Amino acid sequence: MIEALKTIGEYAKESFDESLLAQLADNPNSNGQYELVLLILFDKLDDQIKFKRIDVEEFSKRKLDKYAYKKGSPRGGDLTPTSKITELDKTYERIQKPLGKLCKQLKANTENKKTIINIFKILQDEKISEEIFEDLKDKYEQLDGNGILTIAVKDQDKKLYVGDFAEFTESLLNRYERKFYFKSSYNKTEQESVGRDNICYICSEKSSKTYGYVGTYSFYTLDKPGFTSGGFNRGKAWKNYPVCPECAKTLDLGKDYLEKNLSARFCGINYSIIPKTIFGSDGNNREHIFATLEYLEEHKKMSLNDDTKDRLTTAQDELFASMQDIDNYINFNFMFYEKKNSAFRILLFVEDVLPSYIQQIFKAKEAIDEEEIFQNLKNKDGDIFRMNFKFNLISDFFYVNQANKADFTKQFLEITNGIFSGQKLSYYQLIDRFVLHLQEKFRNGESLWYDNLKAFMILKFLNKLRLIPELGKERGDLVMKTKGEFREKIESFLEEHKDILNANTKILAFLEGILAQKLLNVQRKQTGGSATPFMVRLNGLKINKKIIMRIYSEAINKLEEYGANYYKQLEEMIADYVLLSDLDDISNNELSFYFVTGMNQASKFQFDKKNEEDDSNDSGE
């Protein structure tokens, strides 16, 4: 990954007509809400500096190195005299803090240093400063929107910004480079880690200096004793991982580019994709990577306006769709991570995913999306919609950062890793989680229809990718004895979904779920749409082989009592599958899942529309 990150950093340097300063500076208008810049403009005549006026100009991203904005602490002020305007009087004071700090360090022996010191003196003059603030206030009140405040100097026909003064930029650049070799949190003897005349681990070239604290990502830590070569002194970290100054900056630029252009959200988790060639990053391979980076960058910008149907997640800026169009000489690493304050933690790293395999994932998704069971669905408001597979369906069961829910982020990431790396997944883990989720919703009196359909779609998708072998092979021909319109509808459904309903015991549970729902509908109709006494006999949807046999006989008896047993063909099918099923071959959670699936698909199987109850209330959310 380090080599790939270095290549990305080199691409960032070569592809953008920007100085290092422009790439290091923060963008004060990153959210698009600070479109105007107020300049406190000073006039330079010979060695004299005077306040000239307040200028207003439109913000330009090309001037990031000119503004040289770098966010600081709330108390200490920003790192240069450029700040986003919050409260005008406080911001006016804020831009003077870095000027004052710098002036304490400067001696007026150069023209630039004299200029900076004189500007600070003018701002400290109470009378002149008050005049400047009043002019600034008048201009600011005329603005429509937020603004940025900075200083500039008019020197003959040139306008000099903060970034044109090396005295400001050197402090930023030194501060930036300092993080590669200095840790203020370490004890005094370990704070600095600099090697001399060593081979850089990254470029394999000898360098006069190598730094020891280049922790681009958290691949190893120096926070515990014993992680450093040569004993317990962390100041010797350059022996572990020596990186020259140039490579340190390149890696850092690569990381910054990755976060800005090749990162997005994945079901509530941050992720980045890291392209690399199979045969290194020199010559033509380097050109291939650069072309791939450019393609991915453009696709991410365009994807914000795309239809979400072909996405693997609900995030609008996802990158997966673009990866399938790239040839197999490039493969991808996926890094899933979390950032809390200044801490960075890699949650999952998936290596060497080929574009051709991404294509397989999308083909599986497209095939499942087109199945009839997921088309022309109706929600509780009567609106028609269709389901499309997205990874968010999985996180609806394996909860990721959900309030008041158990955290299943680890399990969700294990499933994600299995899908992208082609590793087999546990069918029983999936079923168990589906059932616990559905049973909880049942206890809370919530609809199960949509969640059950999500689970069914997940199984179909994973089975399409051949990732859950425990699901079993597709079964052979159905049991066919008696004929009838009702039975033919059910058999047609079973045949259509034999990839999942692929065992006699699963079909038995599914058919009994249909029968139980038909009885509940009869009870609802006969009690005016309220009571369903048979619901308590379903044991909270915790089905086992004893309950599955009891439900069959009790449901038939109840239907006979109500004079509404329209389901002889269904009952005959169940009897057939009772004889053919070995209930010891299936887990209780499997019985529960396929039973619930039958309940939630019951409305598809109408017998006699003149006599049968209205099934519309067992579909939709």
Q: Is-contact 514 521, C-beta < 8 A?
A: no
Q: Determine what percent of the chain is predicted with pLDDT higher than 70.
A: 90
Confidence label for 283 from pLDDT (cuts 50, 70 and 90): low
Confidence label for 308 from pLDDT (cuts 50, 70 and 90): low
Q: Is-contact 353 332, C-beta < 8 A?
A: yes
* The predicted structure's pLDDT at residue 281: 56
Q: Which residue has 């100009």 as its token pair?
A: 57
Compute, in degrees rounded to 10, the torsion defined by CA atoms 12, 15, 21, 23: -50
Q: Which tops the pLDDT comparison, 614 or 549?
A: 549
Instruction: Write the single-letter amino acid at 225.
Output: P
Per-residue pLDDT of 347-388, as tens digits, reads 999 999 999 999 999 999 999 999 999 999 988 888 899 999
Per-residue pLDDT of 577-600, as tens digits, reads 999 889 998 999 999 999 999 999
Q: Which two tokens stand for residue 506?
A: 């699963």
* The predicted structure's pLDDT at residue 322: 84
Q: Determine what percent of the chain is predicted with pLDDT higher than 90.
A: 55
Does the structure show a pLDDT above 60 at 306? no
* The predicted structure's pLDDT at residue 370: 95
* The predicted structure's pLDDT at residue 356: 92
* The predicted structure's pLDDT at residue 305: 56
Q: Quick one: 89 exposed, middle or buried, by C-beta within 10 A (0-12, 13-18, 19+)?
A: exposed
* Backbone dihedral region for residue 577 (phi beyond 0: left; psi -120 to 50: alpha; all else: beta): alpha
Total number of residues shown for the chain? 621
3-state SS assignment for residue 172: helix
DSSP string, 445-501: T---HHHHHHHHHHHHHHHHTT--GGG-PPP-SPP--S--HHHHHHHHHHHHTTTTS
3-state SS assignment for residue 51: strand
Q: Which tops the pLDDT comparison, 483 or 359?
A: 359
Q: Which two tokens stand for residue 466?
A: 């051949």
Q: Quick one: 336 exposed, middle or buried, by C-beta within 10 A (0-12, 13-18, 19+)?
A: buried
- 302 C-beta neighbours (distance < 10 Å), count: 9
Per-residue pLDDT of 170-184, as tens digits, reads 878 888 899 899 988
Q: Is-contact 119 49, C-beta < 8 A?
A: yes
Does the structure show a pLDDT above 80 at 80? yes
* The predicted structure's pLDDT at residue 616: 45
As a whole number of angstroms, the distance between CA 121 and CA 128 comes to 10
Confidence label for 454 from pLDDT (cuts 50, 70 and 90): very high
DSSP string, 344-413: EEEEEEEEEE-HHHHHHHHHHHHHHHTSGGGSSEE-TTS-EE-----HHHHHTTS-SS-TTS---HHHHH
DSSP string, 546-586: HHHHHHHHHHHHHHHHTT----HHHHHHHHHHHHH--GGGS
> Residue 435: CA atoms inside 13 Å, Cβ hemisphere, count?
21
Please give the average per-residue pLDDT across 279-299, as a whole number: 75
Please give the average per-residue pLDDT across 232-261, as a whole number: 88
Q: Which of 101, 9, 535, 573 is nearest to 290 (CA)?
A: 9
Q: What is the pTM of this model?
A: 0.79
* The predicted structure's pLDDT at residue 189: 82
Q: Which tops the pLDDT comparison, 26 or 341?
A: 26
* The predicted structure's pLDDT at residue 522: 92
Does the structure show a pLDDT above 60 at 445? yes
* The predicted structure's pLDDT at residue 172: 82
* The predicted structure's pLDDT at residue 284: 63
As a whole number of angstroms, the distance between CA 233 and CA 222 comes to 10
Confidence label for 230 from pLDDT (cuts 50, 70 and 90): low
Q: Which tops the pLDDT comparison, 522 or 108?
A: 522
Does the structure show a pLDDT above 90 at 226? no
- 209 C-beta neighbours (distance < 10 Å), count: 18
Q: Which tops the pLDDT comparison, 231 or 507?
A: 507
* Average pLDDT value for the chain: 87
As a whole number of angstroms, the distance between CA 587 and CA 429 comes to 12
* The predicted structure's pLDDT at residue 328: 81
Which DSSP symbol is given to 614?
Answer: P
**Rounded-to-5 percentages of helix, strand, coil across the chain:** 50, 15, 35
Per-residue pLDDT of 485-537, as tens digits, reads 788 889 899 999 999 999 999 999 999 999 999 999 999 988 877 778 999 99
* Backbone dihedral region for residue 341 (phi beyond 0: left; psi -120 to 50: alpha; all else: beta): left
